[in-house]
Structure 1
Amino acid sequence: MRSLPTILPMSTGAKSMLLATFYFAIMNIFIKAVSHLPAIEIVFFRCGVSLLICFYQLKKEQLDWKGTNRKLLLLRGVLGTIALYTYFITISKMPLGTAVIIQYLSPIFTTILAIFILKEYVKPIQWLFFIISFAGVFLMKEFDERIELTYLLIGLFSAITSAFVYITIRSLKEKEHPLIVVFHFQLIGTLSGMVFSVPVFEMPAGIEWLYLLIIGIFTQLGQLNMTRALQQDRVANVSIINYTGVIYAIAAGFLLFGEHYGWGTLAGIGLVLAGVVMSMIIK
């Protein structure tokens, strides 16, 4: 186990992931505010705004948006869009804090996948902490009637898909500029959202247009910092930092959306966080 002084100093990748988590927390708040709109429509606006910002940044940096590893970039875009769509569904159907904590199981899936795909090492004791985290999810389901099994499974699917996204980004390390990686995700997300939102499209009203713009802006900030983080450090190290977003989500849900949690649900959330934190410390 590492001593406290060796835990406190933060790498560049960790700092980038902390920023990404904060930006995504802002994004989540405004997604919840417009969650009555179809999830695929929110995907379209979210990715569309970010696409325009990213295209401007690419031109400013004089980068070729096509990239060189097009198969991996395509895979990142497709997987990212699927993960995003399913995540938005859970936000619309669950309390914000619950949806976020389920999505944040992705670092555990990422760590497990990294063993087989990236050949990264995980200590045996960490598996115990993973089990503790999943036990927490079980408690949340048992004590919160608002968590339906269907949407819990959709949330878990989103978390697993996000894990594959993290692995793909890591595989693009030193091969593609972070802006190019983000651009392909936004491009595929925009095109997919445009096509599939046509049958279910609902016109946003009034201030909702501003909310959608804010979602796109903070998405871009979050995506760029997340991509940098995953390219600057080990996947297992930086992806776990995502869990700081749970604090933002629970606070925002309580203060802005009147969401309350029973002791059983809070105990489940506590187990999830405890499992992840212990896994991080024991490395």
Structure 2
Amino acid sequence: MTTLMQNRAGPAIAFVVAGILAISVNDMLIKRLSGGYPLHELVFVRSAIGILFSLVLVQIEGGWRILKTDRPGLHLLRGALVVIANMTFFVALGAIPLADATALFFAAPLFITLLSIPILGEKVGPLRLGAVTIGFVGVVIMQRPWAGTETLEVSRLVLLLPVLAALTYALNQLMTRRLGVKSKASALSVYIQTVFIVVSLGFFVVAGDGRFVDESSSASMQFLLRAWVWPAPGDGWVFVGMGLNAAVIGYCLSAAYRMADAATVAPFEYLGLPLAVFWGVVIFGDLPAWEVWIGIALILGSGLFVFLRERQKARSTVSRPTTRRY
């Protein structure tokens, strides 16, 4: 299995890089629109458009038959995890800078490394575990536990939302690794988009008229629960772009984690950190605070160490016989 993984590592890395580029654009667009639209409306439009692109990919990869699965429950659970990851991250994005939310979310590769032990049966040595610990220290620093609630611009719950998103995202990616053996990347993308559409419509039925928020509500709650509005003429293409991005993200990340070991793919997701800083500065004029810079350095450093250590281990064991771990 290790040889197979190495043979497919190149395409997997290309897919994850493309997916992270699309995610960075998507996050920037979501934050840009967060002041005027409800999150569930953005999610619905994005997913409705995205599923159309995904269905085209389904035809390319084998036709309608590849949508059939003998594990609907696991796919439903995976879709739910993706929804939780996205909704919690986007709610935080409506209240804190893009770079801050993204840096906190990048606990995900750390969670992937830890959870790959019980879920995928991967072996993680003490050096990598130490690096993961350092990365989590960076997460704690960005949470600013020494600051009083009166000095924080948002509640601590909002600061924890990207970390919850990271945990559920990590679980989702590890499930993709297991489910991907029998499911095409385009099918996995369709399943996820379908769950997004159902959940966003549920939000519309319950809160689509904005009855649960007013001007005194927090920015996060307004973003989550404000009333649906018809898109402004200039925002139409932005919605279309988000839909295309949704299809690209779902396909590329599913393909990446089907093709290669989680520890090989995950470190390349750190490209999202400098991209988030770039969009934050250029589009929103947000320069990260010193705590965020320290957190980025610790998380990025630990992630790169884990990656290099994994590659070294792979080279030393490439000739050994292996068995499937899923």
TM-score, length of structure 1 as denominator length: 0.91
Deviates more, 1:182-191 or 1:33-42: 33-42
1:216-259 per-position Cα deviation (integer Å, ceiling 9, x unaligned): 11121121111110000011220221111111110110011010
CA distance in 1, matches of 2:172, 2:95: 23
Q: CA deviation at 1:22?
A: 0.9
State the TM-score, normalized to the length of structure 2.
0.79
Deviations 1:151-199 (A, max 9, x none): 1222111111111100110011221111111100000111111121342
1:177-192 pair list within 5 angstroms: 177-192=184-199
Separation in structure 1 between the aligned mates of residue 143 and residue 77 of structure 2, nearest angstrom: 32
Q: Indicate which of 83, 86, 103 corresponds to 2:85.
A: 83
Give the AA of the match of 2:138. G
The match for 1:45 is 45
SS of 1:185's equivalent in the other structure is helix
How much does 1:138 deviate? 2.2
Which residue of structure 1 aligns with residue 260 of structure 2? 233
Aligned CA-pair RMSD = 2.0
**Aligned runs of 1:206-221 on 2, under 5 Å?**
206-221=233-248
Q: Point out where structure 1 has 5 or more consecutive residues left out of the alignment.
A: 1-8
For residue 207 of structure 1, give the secondary structure of its aligned residue in structure 2. Answer: helix
Question: C-alpha separation between the residues in 2 aligned to 1:117 and 1:263?
Answer: 36
Supply the AA of the counterpart residue of 2:182: K
Between stretches 111-120 and 195-204, larger displacement belongs to 195-204
* Match runs of 1:84-233 below 5 Å: 84-142=86-144, 145-146=152-153, 148-198=155-205, 199-200=207-208, 201-203=227-229, 204-233=231-260
SS of match in other structure, 2:69 = coil
* Structure-2 residue corresponding to 1:256: 283
Q: Report the CA distance between 1:45 and its aligned residue.
A: 1.7
- Taking the aligned partners of 2:300 and 2:152, their CA distance within structure 1 comes to 21
Distance 1:234 1:175, change over 3 A: same
1:246-276 Cα offsets, whole Å, 9 max, x none, are 1111011001101012333312221111111
User: Secondary structure at the residue paired with 1:282?
Assistant: helix
Per-residue CA distance 1:114-155 (angstroms, 9 max, x = gap): 100110111211121112111112222328944531112221
Higher alpha-carbon deviation: 34-43 or 82-91: 34-43
Indicate the residue corresponding to 2:64 in structure 1. Answer: 63
Q: CA distance change for structure 1 residues 80 and 159 in 2, over 3 Å: closer, same or farther?
A: same
Query: Which 5+ residue runs of structure 2 have no aligned equivalent?
Result: 1-7, 209-226, 311-326
Residues 109 and 147 of structure 1: is their aligned pair in 2 closer, same or farther, counting only changes over 3 Å?
farther
Distance in 2, matches of 1:48 and 1:27, equals: 15
Query: Aligned AA for 1:62?
Result: G
Contact 1:51–1:190 (8 Å) recurs in 2: no
Q: Structure 2: which amino acid aligns with 1:74? A: L
CA distance in 2, matches of 1:264, 1:153: 15
Return the alpha-carbon distance in structure 1 between the equivalents of residues 101 and 68 of structure 2: 34
- Percent identical: 24
Aligned residues: 276
**Deviation above 6 Å: which 4+ runs of structure 1?**
none
Match for residue 17 of structure 1?
Answer: 16
Mapped partners of 2:309, 2:59: distance in 1: 43
1:4 alignment partner in structure 2: none
Separation in structure 2 between the aligned mates of residue 150 and residue 40 of structure 1, nearest angstrom: 20
The aligned residue for residue 298 of structure 2 is: 271
